[in-house]
Structure formats: C-alpha cells, structure tokens
Structure 1
Amino acid sequence: MTQVTIREAVMQDIPQLKALMLAYIVDFYQYRQPEDDKLNGLIHTLLEQKEGIQFVAETEDGTLVGFATLYFTFSTLRASKIAVMNDLYVVEAERGQGAAAKLFAACKGYAARNGYANLTWTTAKDNFRAQGFYDKIGGDRSDWLTYSVNPTSGIGD
C-alpha cells in the first residue's frame, strides 16, 4: 500500500496537477479537453483560495496521485456559506488504498474549520464505485435533483 499525504495544492504542483485534471476530464469522464488557458486559469484561481481550493494526494516520492476540489458558494435555505466538492479523483492504480478517504477527510475538515454550514457534492449516475464510496463514508443522498443547461443555447434546444 502506497502511503499518501494530503495537502493543499501549491504552485510547484501545477504540472502534475494539470496532468491529473486532464486524466480526470478526458480519460475518466471522456469529456473534451478544455482550452489550455482556461485550465491554467482555473488552477491559478484555485491556488488563490478565494473561490475554491484544491487538495492533492502525494506519495513519498513526490508523485501526485489524486486531487479534490472545493468551491465556495452560499445556500439561501441555510442562509450561510457552503462548500461544494466538485471533484474527487484518484488515479486507477491507487484506488482502494485510502487516498480518496483522506482527500474527502481534508475537504470535510476544511469546511468544518472554516465555518461552512454544509459540504455537498454530486457524482455521475453511472459512477457506482464513487457512489459506494460516498455511501460508505456516511454521505446522505439528497432529495434534490441536479439540472444543468448551456446558457448559450436557446430554450428547448
């Protein structure tokens, strides 16, 4: 079992973090690769820690094997700030070894220490492995449905 340390992402992580994010976006979710300047801009925004934060899972030899992303927003119903865990990704070779649990714990701990009323997240309907993990760690399935729309498309497109 590989030992991993969880810590906040820093500037020196950018090359490895970017590669992990691309593996997550393109290989895992089979989504189109984002424009390089957009991905770089997102990483730099998260490093500023004003709109969100990223945590990385690092092996003893300095290799990054996973990441988790929190975004900061608000809940009208709670009249308070909440954290949204938008991403939790671990490379295939390290899955089942505890890195995901440590990344999740870092996100939960960050939210608790910083006064967030709630930590929420979503996962794909067909990502049964992730659903099993979230059930195992005590996540509550929401009664809410998630919708999305492309703001540049017409109504009914």
Structure 2
Amino acid sequence: MTQVTIREATTQDIPQLRTLMLAYIVDFYEYRRPEDEKLDSLIHLLLEQKEGVQFVAETEEGVLVGFATLYFTYSTLRASKIAIMNDLYVIEAERGQGAAQKLFVACKGYAARNGYANLSWTTHKENFRAQKFYDKMGGELGEWLSYSINPTIGLGD
C-alpha cells in the first residue's frame, strides 16, 4: 500500500497536476481536452485560493496520485458561504488504498476550519463506486436535483 500525504497544491505541482487533471477530464469522464491556456488559467486561479483551493495526494517519492478541488460560493438559504467539492480523483492504481478518503477529509476539514456552512458535491449518476464511497464518508443524498445548461445554445432565437 502506497502511503500518501495530503496537502494544498503549490506552483511546483503544476506539471503533475495538469497531467492528473487531464486524466480526470479526458480519460475518466471522457470529456474533450480543454485548451491548454484554459486549464493553466484554472490551475493558477486555484493556487491563488480566492475562489477555490486544490489538495493533492503525494507519495513518499513525490508523485501526485490524486487531487480534490473545492470552489467557494454562497448559499442564500443558509445566508452563509459554502464549499463545493467539484472534483475528487485518484488514479486507478491507487484507488481503494485510502488516498480518496484522505482527500475527502482534507476538504471537510478545510471547510470546517474556514467557517463554511456546508460542503456539497455531485457525482455522475452511474458512478456507483463514488456513490458508495460518499455514503461511507457520511454523505447524504440531497433533496435537490442538479440541472445545467450551455449558455451559448439558443442565443439569438
């Protein structure tokens, strides 16, 4: 079992973090590859820790094997700031060995220490492994349905 340390991402992590994020986006979720400039811009934005933060799972050899991303926003119903865990990803070879749990705990701890009223997340309806993991971590399936739209579709109609 590989021992991993969880810590906040730094600028030194950018090359490995970029590779992990691309594996998550393109290989795992089968989305199209984002433009390099957009991905780099997002990584740098998260390193500023004003709109979000990223945690990385690092082996003793300095290899990043996972990451989790929190974004910061507000809840009108709670009249307070909330954190959204938008990503939690661990490479296939390291799954089931505790890295995901450590990343999740880091996100939860960050939200608690920084006064966030809620930590929420979503996962794909067919990602049963993630659903089982979140149930194990004490997550509760919410009452709200998640919708999304591409804002550029239908403009000018």
Shorter-chain TM band: over 0.9
Partner of 1:117: 117
Q: After TM superposition, list the pairs within 5 Å mapping 1:84-103 onto structure 2.
A: 84-103=84-103
Q: After TM superposition, list the pairs within 5 Å mapping 1:31-50 onto structure 2.
A: 31-50=31-50
User: What 5-or-longer segments of structure 2 have no aligned partner?
Assistant: none
TM-score, length-scaled by structure 2: 0.98
**Cα shift at 1:40:** 0.1
Tell me the secondary structure at the aligned position of residue 111 of structure 2: helix
Q: 2 CA distance for matches of 1:105 and 1:133? A: 12
Partner of 1:61: 61
**Moved >3 Å (runs of 4+):** none
Q: After TM superposition, list the pairs within 5 Å mapping 1:1-157 onto structure 2.
A: 1-154=1-154
Tell me the secondary structure at the aligned position of residue 86 of structure 1: strand
Q: 2 CA distance for matches of 1:33 and 1:142? A: 31
User: What 5-or-longer segments of structure 1 have no aligned partner?
Assistant: none
Q: 1 CA distance for matches of 2:146 and 2:56? A: 27
Identity, % of aligned pairs?
80
**Cα shift at 1:95:** 0.1
**Cα shift at 1:67:** 0.0
- What do residues 21-48 of structure 1 show as CA deviations (whole Å, max 9, x unaligned)? 0000000000000000000000000000
Tell me the secondary structure at the aligned position of residue 151 of structure 1: coil
Q: 2 CA distance for matches of 1:5 and 1:68? A: 13
Tell me the secondary structure at the aligned position of residue 33 of structure 1: coil
Q: 2 CA distance for matches of 1:107 and 1:137? A: 12
Q: 2 CA distance for matches of 1:101 and 1:141? A: 18
Q: 2 CA distance for matches of 1:147 and 1:57? A: 30
**Cα shift at 1:16:** 0.1
Q: How many residues are aligned here? A: 156
TM-score, length-scaled by structure 1: 0.98
Q: 2 CA distance for matches of 1:135 and 1:112? A: 19
